[in-house]
Amino acid sequence: MPVKKIITRRDFLRAGACITLGSFIGLPHGEGSPESGEGRSRVVLVRDRGVLDSKEQINRIALQDMLDGAVTALLDAPDPSSAWRRLVTSRDIVGIKTNVWPYLPTPAPLNEAVRKRLVEAGVRQENISADDRGVLRDPVFQRCTALINVRPMRTHHWSGLGTLLKNYIMFVPQPSRYHDNACERLGAIWQLPHVKGKTRLNILVMLTPLFHGTGPHHFSRQHTWPYCGLIVSQDPVAADATGARIIQARRDAFFGGDRPVTPLPRHIVAADTRFGLGNSRPERVELLRLGWQEDPYL
Amino acid sequence: MGMELPADRVPAGYATGEAVRKALFFLLVTLAAGSFSLVMTRKSFAGSLETLAEALDRQVGAWTATGQDGTYDGETIYDYIDGAGEVYRAYNMRGCLSRRYAAAGEPDIVLDIFDMGSSEDAFGVFTHDRDGSPADVGQDALYRQGWLSFWKSRFFVSLYMERETPAAKETAFHLARAVASLIGEEGRKPAILLGLPPQGLRDGSVRYLHHPMLLNYHYYLSDENILNLGEETDALLAMYSRDGKRARFLLVRYANPEKAKEACSRFLSHYLPEAEGKGPLRLENGKWADASLKGRFLAVVLEADSRSLAEDLLAEAKECP
């Protein structure tokens, strides 16, 4: 018999920025937020069990297929080439914002898959750069007209989750200035002149996400699992919120019962309600599922 | 400096003669300095991370230190451990020494020694992660698969195995004991611990902290800092179990009684506005909560299974130095 969840004052207090019961509880949207009106954000979740072998090594062909399938579905395009040509033009200078965290970096094969499609869409090789911590010094990023945001999702000591939104923290010279209140103001970075409006695609890597971490290095292999997925969207908030629900569900299943992500990843909802960067609430997300459907945690 | 060689580094037949030499040396120093040396004893443990780095073997069994040691301060720590640096900063970290040991066919072992500036904060940061099994290293140690941590004196030490193997685990423990031995003397735990009611206090449940984010990390209370926590406050979060009834208890020490009173008032008005000084209040989930002042201490029962347990804990909380 299911146990009825009692909403406590703590639940109520954190409702503005939290994940409970496996789903986001969001505050009412700000009237003026540009992407949170009537529109819904499309998010594609693509999974392929064959993308990882028994040692969790990546099958490059399967990964390219996943990316292609996701981008094509996201944009309702007839094929991957057409889809990428809608994202970039030959005049674009493209920064691929990766994440180099050593225990769970953006996979090199995924960078290569993105780069391949960018070149095929007409972007010149010399106008493409993949970087993380050096983006402020990277000459391509300094003059970029487009950004592709690619990173794995993981729990994070101070922001609750390492997200697509958080991945742009390297676009400011002093990232720690955005650490207050569990990094709630990360959305503000997306409004800086050298960042605003440039992001064409967000890819949240869910191949082996980290759902729990302890200690200074915050990583243990036992707290990852082969989810074998990518979450792809033009809305970073919707992609992150979707990934967050998966992480939360996995935590609850692994630990048995409610085990909220801590600290609360309030920056996701804040990016929606305060900074107008996208949609965090499930009812504002149009989720397309492709590929492997087992244990989706969603 | 109070340095000691790990027992397994002392050659056979050496120990007795070395002990006599040490005793003579200590006697000479004591005579020369008179009683002053006794006053200095508390500060005579390993003086710095650099001292520890120099004294610590770079070869441990099959593992050898690779590359240069990393050293980080409160700003550069982000370069090393990303946002996790905030946890150590919240406990007033002074520095971090990082050394990576590698062995052929085995996982790397990453040794991190954090100088927290005080033994109280070394204890505090140790209590941030309390999962694991107790281990016999330093003043308190915990082992979980792939990670061993302990605290001693003003140092918090972490040994992280990138993948756990029997040999890596054995070496990590060996290294940990070597570091603990080099640190030498033990340090004090926070005095506020004396204020906790002892009966029913659950082993390993106590967390010592200053920062409101860390309280929220362990027990979400509010986005607002409704207890006015900060660098000048010491707080303990603890779990109790008495006669099958459980409670979560918070004790905070403020700089003075006025600040404690102000925090109490703020907490009650934000979190328990219905309480109105009438004793424990029943929460939405059926548990009981209340707060009371004792001088510059604020005791809070966040959740108790019964009214009487809440009342008893508040009555038994003590003022302490």
* Higher pLDDT, residue B30 or A112: A112
Closest CA to A225 of A111, A104, A113: A104
Contact A158 B83 (CB under 8 A): yes
Measured between beta carbons, the chain B residues lying within 8 angstroms of A263 are 213, 216-217
Distances (CA, A) of A182 to A156, A186, A266, A270, B254: 10, 9, 7, 11, 24
pLDDT digit string (tens) for B58-86?
A: 999 999 999 999 999 988 998 898 878 88
Contact A214 B271 (CB under 8 A): no
How high is the mean pLDDT of chain A? 90
State whether ipTM is beyond 0.85. no
pLDDT given for residue A5 in this prediction: 58
Tell the residue number behind the tokens 């297929």, with chain if given: A65
Listed in order, the ranges of chain B carrying CATH 3.40.1000.20 are 45-183
Over range A5-28, report the average pLDDT: 53
Closest CA to B300 of B266, B85, A99: B266
- Give the pLDDT band of residue B193 (cuts 50, 70, 90): very high
Of the candidates A8, A215, A222, the beta carbon closest to that of B284 is on: A8
CATH topology of domain B45-183: Protein Transport Mog1p; Chain A (3.40.1000)
Contacts of residue A2, Cβ cutoff 8 Å, sequence gap at least 6: none
Contact A262 B217 (CB under 8 A): yes
Q: What's the rounded Cα separation, in Å, for the pair A250 and A252?
A: 5
- Give the pLDDT band of residue A15 (cuts 50, 70, 90): low
Q: What's the rounded Cα separation, in Å, for the pair B195 and B260?
A: 15
**CA distance to partner chain A, nearest, from residue B285 (Å):** 6
pLDDT given for residue A39 in this prediction: 86
For A99, nearest residue in chain B (alpha carbons): B82
Residues of chain B above pLDDT 70, percent = 85
Of the candidates B75, B147, B220, the beta carbon closest to that of A215 is on: B147
Contacts of residue A169, Cβ cutoff 8 Å, sequence gap at least 6: A175, A178, A183, A186, A189
Which range among A5-14, A53-62, B123-132, B308-317 shows the weakest confidence by mean pLDDT?
Answer: A5-14
Which range among A33-47, B26-40, B108-122 shows the weakest confidence by mean pLDDT?
Answer: B26-40
Measured between beta carbons, the chain A residues lying within 8 angstroms of B149 are 215
Q: Is B319 on the interface with A (CB under 8 A)?
A: no
A284 within 8 A of A40, measured Cβ to Cβ? yes
Buried/exposed code over A49-81 (b: 16+ C-beta within 10 A; e: otherwise): eebbeeeeebeeebbbbbbbbbbbbbbebeebe
pLDDT digit string (tens) for A152-205?
A: 999 998 899 999 999 999 999 988 888 888 899 999 999 999 999 999 999 999
The count of CB pairs under 8 A between chains A and B is 91
Of the candidates B75, B87, B285, the beta carbon closest to that of A157 is on: B87
Q: How many CB atoms lie within 10 A of CB B178?
A: 22
- Give the pLDDT band of residue B224 (cuts 50, 70, 90): confident
Measured between beta carbons, the chain A residues lying within 8 angstroms of B160 are 215-217
